[in-house]
Amino acid sequence: MDEGQQRHYRHIEVRPIAGALGAEVRGADIARPLEDEVIAEIRQAFLDHLVIFLRDQKLTPQAQLAFAQRFGQPMEYPQLTGLLECPLVTPVVKLAHERVNFGGVWHSDTSYLARPPMASMLYAVETPPRGGDTLFANQYLAYETLSEGLQQTLAGLVGVNSSAKADVSKTREDRLRDAGAELKLLVGEHPAVRTHPETGRRALYLNCGHTVRFRGWTEQESAPLLDYLFMHQVKPEFTCRFHWDPGSLAFWDNRCAQHYPVNDYHGYRRVMHRVTLEGDPPR
């Protein structure tokens, strides 16, 4: 959606929360089946704003999964097990005694897969009395604000993404140990700049959580350019910040947005339920 353009919605209210991305969607009770026209408007808001938020929802895992299925095909998360009663819903938990939070770096979800997810949907079950916000960053803007010369350089580059990059793998250790699982080594190679299959816009598709180097380059050779891009792509003017309450749901487009869960609530539990939707190979 062009800057300054305000789309008209008939069935829902959409309120942007920042200049770069993010909007609250009001007027939809997603615990019950919604008409196709309402789902179509929610999807349009999702595409326009990259991440949408719905507050004051009362969702069982089954209801969350049913809502997610209106937008795509749910998939298993590759490193964790789901709920016993609803295996495609994965709990994301930080306990009061833990100091490290799950996925606590800027990242695009599971970019180490050959087919990274289209989107993720996170629902707050239990939140700390303060803190625990999540930041999101617009990767369309991250690409569009690069110089023409750097855009041309990136057009021929492929990022190598690993599930075992140290910065992010350490954020999963507690959950993997609880599940009796080991960290799998998964590697995915994707264009440094991808074209969104629905909007046609180009987005920077590298992230500090998983991208280790460029294909054909060593890690040492890749580091200076990657370090610059990692800093550039999460500039404050590209971001929004969301504060969670129980009953809040965030639905973000993994193809053009990154996120960062802020780890500032030691001593409190935070329990979220996550559904991940299948995507296409980045192109």
Active-site residue, from 107, 175, 190, 194: 107
Active-site residue, from 172, 210, 270, 274: 274
The number of C-alpha atoms within 13 Å of 173 and in the hemisphere containing its C-beta is: 11
Place of tokens 């998939």: 75
Ranges of each domain in the chain: 13-277
pLDDT tens digits, 51-77 = 999 999 999 999 999 999 999 999 998
Tell me the C-alpha distance between 24 and 242, whole Å.
10
Q: What is the enclosing helix (H) or strand (E) of 126?
A: strand 119-126
Work out the end-to-end distance of the chain between its first and last CA atoms, rounded to an integer number of angstroms: 21
Is 223:245 a contact under the CB 8 Å cutoff? no
Question: Active-site residue 178, yes or no?
Answer: no
Smallest CA-to-CA distance from 68 within 279, 271, 277, 253 is with: 277
Burial grade of 91 (CB within 10 A; 0-12, 13-18, 19 or more): middle
pLDDT tens digits, 181-235 = 566 789 999 999 999 999 999 999 999 999 999 999 999 999 999 999 999 999 9
pLDDT tens digits, 236-281 = 999 999 999 999 999 999 999 999 999 999 999 999 999 999 999 9
**From the centroid of its chain, how far is CA 252?**
5
| pLDDT band (50, 70, 90) for residue 178 | low
Q: Which residues pair with 202 in a beta bridge?
A: 195
| pLDDT band (50, 70, 90) for residue 5 | low
Active-site residue, from 49, 109, 194, 196: 109
| pLDDT band (50, 70, 90) for residue 100 | confident
Active-site residue, from 255, 259, 270, 273: 259
State the pLDDT at residue 3: 46
Tell me the C-alpha distance between 250 and 98, whole Å.
24
Question: Active-site residue 109, yes or no?
Answer: yes
- The amino acid that residue 150 corresponds to is L
Q: Which architecture, in CATH terms, is 13-277?
A: 4-Layer Sandwich (3.60)
Question: Active-site residue 107, yes or no?
Answer: yes
Helix H segments across 11-163? 36-49, 61-68, 139-144, 148-155
Cβ density class 147-174: b for 16+ within 10 Å, e for less: eeeeeeebeebbbbbbbebeebbebbeb
Tell me the C-alpha distance between 282 and 261, whole Å.
24
Count of C-beta atoms within a 10 Å radius of residue 254: 24
